[in-house]
Structure 1
Amino acid sequence: MDLHPARTGSAVVLAPVGRIDHTHADAFKQSLDPWLGECTRDGAAIVIDFSGVTYISSIGLRALMVAAKQAKAQGGRIVLAALTPLVLEVFRISRFDLVFEIFADRAAALDALGPQRVPV
């Protein structure tokens, strides 16, 4: 799965497209893995822009949770942005909206990361 990475200041924005379900969850996780190595206390924070994601299943949520746990263990930070209504509903039903920082859009997520993460 192509995550369409874009560096913005000291953050990296990843923007998956399509469904993150049983068919695509492994590809999502494999595409996310290289970026997790940089997601440390002194490295790049990750913003995942969900504006192009039409659906996420429980296995997709699991892949996201594993990534978040790794980032947290390294002192890094993953935030989510621009969840479509259906994806946001899945997050609310599963209560993942209480686990992740979710922002209305990419700009709000980048602003929340602080001044060192402002676009250059």
Structure 2
Amino acid sequence: MELQPKQEGRTVVLSPAGRIDHTHADAFKLALDPHLADCRKDGAPLVIDFSDISYISSIGLRALMVAIKQVKGQGGRMVLAALQPLVLEVFTISRFDMLFEIFPDRAAAVSAVAA
């Protein structure tokens, strides 16, 4: 899965597309891993822009849970932005909305982590 990384100031914005399900979760995790290593206390914060993600399954949620645990353990900051209604509903039902900082759009997320 291509994450299309873009630098916005100090922040790295990743923009996955499609579905993060049993077919694509491993590719998502592999693509995300190198960015997680740099997301530490003095490193660049990460924003994952979900505007082009139409669906996420439990295995996709697991990949994100492993990622946020790593980032928090390193003292970094990773936030999510622009979740589509169905994806946001999955996050809410699974209570992942309590695990992640979620912003309505990319600009709000980038502003928050830059502050």
**How far is 1:114 from its partner?**
3.1
Query: Contact between 2:47 and 2:81, CA under 8 Å: does it hold in 1?
Result: yes
Correspondence for 1:88: 88
**CA–CA distance in structure 2, aligned partners of residues 74 and 54 of structure 1:** 30
Cα displacement string for residues 59-97 of structure 1 (whole angstroms, at most 9, x for unaligned residues): 000000100000111110110000000000000010101
**CA–CA distance in structure 1, aligned partners of residues 39 and 114 of structure 2:** 15
Aligned length: 115
**How far is 1:111 from its partner?**
1.1
Correspondence for 1:118: none
> What letter is aligned with 2:98?
L
Correspondence for 2:32: 32
Q: CA RMSD in A?
A: 0.6
Taking structure 1 as the reference length, the TM-score comes to 0.94
Correspondence for 1:57: 57
Query: Contact between 2:47 and 2:80, CA under 8 Å: does it hold in 1?
Result: yes
**CA–CA distance in structure 2, aligned partners of residues 78 and 58 of structure 1:** 19
**CA–CA distance in structure 2, aligned partners of residues 114 and 11 of structure 1:** 7
Please list every run of at least 4 consecutive aligned residues from structure 1 whose deviation after the TM superposition is greater than 6 angstroms.
none
3-state SS of paired residue (1:36) = helix
Q: Report sequence identity in percent.
A: 70
Correspondence for 1:16: 16
> What letter is aligned with 2:68?
A
**How far is 1:99 from its partner?**
0.8
**What are the ranges of 5 or more consecutive residues in structure 2 without an aligned counterpart?**
none
**What are the ranges of 5 or more consecutive residues in structure 1 without an aligned counterpart?**
116-120
Taking structure 2 as the reference length, the TM-score comes to 0.98
